[in-house]
Amino acid sequence: MTSSIYIDGKWRPAIDGATREIRSPADGTLVATVSDGKIADALAAISSARTSFDSGLFSSWSWKERSVLLTKIALLLERDIEIIANLESGDTGKRIIESKYDVADVSATFRHFAKLALDHHDRVLDSGLPNVTSKVTYEPIGVCSLIGPWNYPLLQISWKVAPALAAGCSFILKPSELTPSTAIHLIKLIEEAGAPAGVANLVTGSGAAFGDTLTTDPRVDFVSFTGGLPTGKRIIIKAAETVKRVALELGGKNPNIIFADADLDVAIDFAVTAAFLHSGQVCSAGTRLIVERPIHDQVVQEIVRRAKQIRLGGPADLTAETGPLISENHLKKVEEYLAKGISEGAKLLVGGTRCTTEKLSTGWYFPPTVLDDCNTSMYCVQEESFGPILTVEVFDTIDEAIKLGNDTIYGLSGAVWSRDQTKCERVSKELRHGTVWVNDYGPYKPQAEWGGFKASGNGRELGEHGLQEYLEIKHIWVNNSPTRSGWFADKN
Ligand code: NAD
């Protein structure tokens, strides 16, 4: 769709006419051609969102009316699940079934915020004075720049778009330049559901200068970003100039701690999924296996055996269990990361070289890879590969397990496996990560907040807090029978 920029209710091409090809990472086929927006397009989208917000048209809708809009969008997402799943798998190379799970989660996100909007109310306070009413109200924060990554393209932007609409904001959506197709479809559904022109604006484009426009313009009130740490740091610095509120969902280096008394069959099965689901391109991937010394050999041997069996393939391959990496650039980064790990002393047990069989050679495939003998001084333990690489560390005591789990600049998620409830409680309390799973790995609920401690970000998405991010708080004090204060003497 070469007119993929949506501003003030109209689809149009980039101002300079530039386009970008989207190619399947599974086999290189052309899946879409979209507008390649530039700074002028971003500025036009900001103008549209600002005019829309300042008109008060949408922000004056009642919470109930906005809740109805969100429910309509959820229904449209459910209606179009096949179309959207195909678009998502086309851009990302992930299996259709995984894209369908994602669309179901997106719809659940809209329903969650529809319910929050319906339940929303101001807080009436006891002023302590008979003639005074005092209340705290929640107003839309204004114009929002919503910037998303490529790994869960539609899901990650839905965590921003749904609360922005629930709150009554106007926004500029910028999906990843690698995976814009489902964002384009979502905007069509928002239009179909009846959002006024100018509320939802979409710019497809790439590059730091283009992105900076969305985070520096004084007409933007709030930036919500999901992506890598370097981009997140840049956004905070850029947004500081205009004192914008910024919410960041960044990377993770997530510990998966297995004690010797765990149900090992289940723990190993989940460890394999945690590390290799979506070929490791998951912010909460369990990429750090931290295992109690006596069971190290047993656990690692079994994970290696399981890793060798994982079948790779594109969306059209119904036997595939996971797909390709997103791009050639990303594949090269994963290879460099692995080489660095090995040069630091990590021991390669399985995987490690890109797939070159005839079936996989046209895509960006990298096999499940396990590095043993790792420790926290290594780059491969500290930094995200965002690929299918699992590092293994050992521990001897619960104190050591907790210390290792927290020995990272990140703090997104982690897990602990043990049959001892007291041990699990202590570890889950002391891990400094935004989500901790006990004897499980991966589930999340739209009703529960998602986000990171430390360098994994600030703010929270989903839950109730995910709506608060899009609201300004105002205290309104009304004196119904004003009299003089008498603070200063009136000598006349
Ligand atoms: P990225 O930082 O490269 O890009 C993310 C988005 O930022 C893209 O849309 C990109 O075009 C845009 N961008 C680039 N430069 C910009 C600038 N100067 N200003 C504004 N926007 C700019 O990240 P990615 O490679 O797309 O995504 C992978 C990363 O996302 C990983 O680190 C992963 O852990 C993280 N992630 C985190 C979560 C979470 O919930 N915490 C979820 C998914 C992904």
pLDDT digit string (tens) for 37-72? 999 999 999 999 999 999 999 999 999 999 999 999
Report the separation in Å between the CA atom of 53 and the middle of ligand 1, taken as the mean of its atom positions: 26
Structure tokens at 471: 């609201």
Supply the pLDDT for residue 271. 98
88, 177, 249, 393: the catalytic one is: 249
Residue nearest ligand 1's atom 42 by CA = 283
pLDDT digit string (tens) for 198-214? 999 999 999 999 999 99
- CB of 234 sitting under 6 A from ligand 1: yes
Supply the pLDDT for residue 90. 98
Query: Is it the case that residue 177 has pLDDT exceeding 80?
Result: yes
Supply the pLDDT for residue 1. 73
Q: How far apart are the first and last CA of the chain?
A: 75
What value does the mean pLDDT take over residues 3-18? Answer: 97
Q: What is the spatial distance between Cα 459 and Cα 163, in angstroms, rounded to a whole number? A: 14
Supply the pLDDT for residue 217. 98
Residue nearest ligand 1's atom 13 by CA = 211
Whether 249 is catalytic is yes
Supply the pLDDT for residue 298. 98
Report the separation in Å between the CA atom of 72 and the middle of ligand 1, taken as the mean of its atom positions: 29
pLDDT digit string (tens) for 213-252? 999 999 999 999 999 999 999 999 999 999 999 999 999 9
pLDDT digit string (tens) for 431-487? 999 999 999 999 999 999 999 999 999 999 999 999 999 999 999 999 999 999 999
Supply the pLDDT for residue 492. 76
Residue nearest ligand 1's atom 9 by CA = 176
Closest Cα to residue 204, out of 187, 224, 189?
187
Q: H-helix or E-strand containing 31?
A: strand 30-35
Largest CA distance in the chain: 98
What value does the mean pLDDT take over residues 170-181? Answer: 98
Q: What are phi and psi of 457, to 5 degrees?
A: 135, -175
Report the separation in Å between the CA atom of 147 and the middle of ligand 1, taken as the mean of its atom positions: 8
CA angle 27, 341, 304 (to 5 degrees): 65
Q: CA dihedral in degrees (245, 246, 247, 250; nearest 10)?
A: -170
- CB of 151 sitting under 6 A from ligand 1: yes
Structure tokens at 312: 């790779």
Beta bridge partners of 22: 32
* Alpha-carbon separation of residue 43 from 249, 353, 393 (angstroms): 24, 44, 49
Probe target for ligand 1 pocket from 226, 244, 435, with the most ligand atoms within 8 Å of CB: 226
Report the separation in Å between the CA atom of 376 and the middle of ligand 1, taken as the mean of its atom positions: 25
Nearest ligand 1 atom to the CA of 283 is 34
| pTM to 2 decimal places | 0.97
Q: Are 59 and 140 spatial neighbours (Cβ–Cβ below 8 Å)?
A: yes
Probe target for ligand 1 pocket from 147, 328, 330, 461, with the most ligand atoms within 8 Å of CB: 147
Supply the pLDDT for residue 326. 98
Whether 424 is catalytic is no
Q: What is the spatial distance between Cα 373 and Cα 348, in angstroms, rounded to a whole number? A: 9
Report the separation in Å between the CA atom of 251 and the middle of ligand 1, taken as the mean of its atom positions: 9
Supply the pLDDT for residue 160. 99
Supply the pLDDT for residue 126. 95
Report the separation in Å between the CA atom of 227 and the middle of ligand 1, taken as the mean of its atom positions: 2
Nearest ligand 1 atom to the CA of 234 is 18
Query: Is it the case that residue 13 has pLDDT exceeding 90?
Result: yes
165 — pLDDT class (breaks 50, 70, 90)? very high
Query: Is it the case that residue 2 has pLDDT exceeding 90?
Result: no
Report the separation in Å between the CA atom of 170 and the middle of ligand 1, taken as the mean of its atom positions: 22
Q: Which residues are within 8 A (CB) of 409 and not within 5 positions of it... i.e. 6 or more apart?
A: 253, 382, 454, 455
- CB of 341 sitting under 6 A from ligand 1: no
10 Å CB burial of residue 356 (0-12, 13-18, 19+) is: exposed
- CB of 170 sitting under 6 A from ligand 1: no
Supply the pLDDT for residue 92. 98
Query: Is it the case that residue 189 has pLDDT exceeding 80?
Result: yes
10 Å CB burial of residue 369 (0-12, 13-18, 19+) is: buried
Q: CA dihedral in degrees (289, 309, 252, 111; nearest 10)?
A: -120
Nearest ligand 1 atom to the CA of 450 is 40
Q: What is the spatial distance between Cα 69 and Cα 168, in angstroms, rounded to a whole number? A: 11
144, 169, 283, 424: the catalytic one is: 283
pLDDT digit string (tens) for 253-280? 999 999 999 999 999 999 999 999 999 9
- CB of 198 sitting under 6 A from ligand 1: no
